[in-house]
Structure 1
Amino acid sequence: MSDSEGTNEWSTDSENEAEESLGTQPFMFEPEASDSSSSDSDDEINDPESRLGNTTWCQCGHCVPMPTCMECVCCCEIQQVVAKKNHLQSPVVCITLHPGFHNVCLDMWVLQAASYVYRQQYGTSARHGSFHDQMRHTAYRQLVSWCWQWLGRNNRVVLPACAVAKIRETFPSNGNYVGFEL
């Protein structure tokens, strides 16, 4: 076999020698995957209990520890909430930083009007309680309407811990909060 058979007629001898000594090295300039980062996410998927008592699962930096595994979810993990965040020209890292979040979920006057519509629609089955209880309940409903539009009767979704924390901070209770219920 001659030297010219294995080489390209357009390449020089020095280029061919470099190729032969290095060989093809795909992904040569890509960073190597870290074993710890993949195992952490695998652990959380395989063991949701690892989310309890901490916020290592939070990607937005605004979540708080929640009492159940099911409630330990960040706004960055929920497709409908991510879509709402990304709808802005300059997307925000957390749904609570979205300019619409305050208006839709925290504004007392908007929540009062929304609660009247809710009571008109559901009548006596509408939620009763203290003013803050009613505002929190309506704020949760507003967040669902804003991100999911309409779920249908008796359909529920888990809300991001960051949003729940901000709503609870704005409309506090005596510390006895009811978590997510199916």
Structure 2
Amino acid sequence: MPFLIAALGVLAAVYFFIMRARNAAHLTTELMDVANDVRLAARRFGFVRRGAEHPAESIDDPNIALAALGTAFLELDDLPSKEQRIALTGALARAGRVNTGDAEELLILGRWIMNECGGPAQAVPRLGKKLYKMQGAEGFQPLMDIVQGVANAGSGDLSAKQREALDDLTRAFRLS
């Protein structure tokens, strides 16, 4: 009888470890797919990360900076809704004059750049300065169109963190 109980215990342990290994394999596959999406979006829009530079400083396309700033601004809200994400995609498509599919790919790349900056709060001032360097004061209006689209899709009001981010952007664009 003790041998039967020991055998069942060994079988249960083996089953447990096989299930954990299978789940880890699925997770690894999903992570590789996410990394591949970022890589393909970067290639599609000509984003090349320069060796010793931060990814935010490697941005050459204003649409990439707009996508990263829009994503950061959305993430500053506590729990962004699906409607806000859809509104961000539409606002980016209109402001960047790209189709919706391209806007979705830009947002994938923008999210990665925002994460490389250390989160949305750190990304807003850094990316705002980069967009100002690329486009000057003309880059502010498309950015405000995106911010307005995101705000209208939500409660219509900005959170405290989003208001602080707007202050950072006005300083970055030297409007204050």
TM-score of the alignment, normalized to the shorter chain, above 0.5: no
TM-score (norm 1): 0.31
Larger Rg: 1
Q: Which has the higher helix share?
A: 2
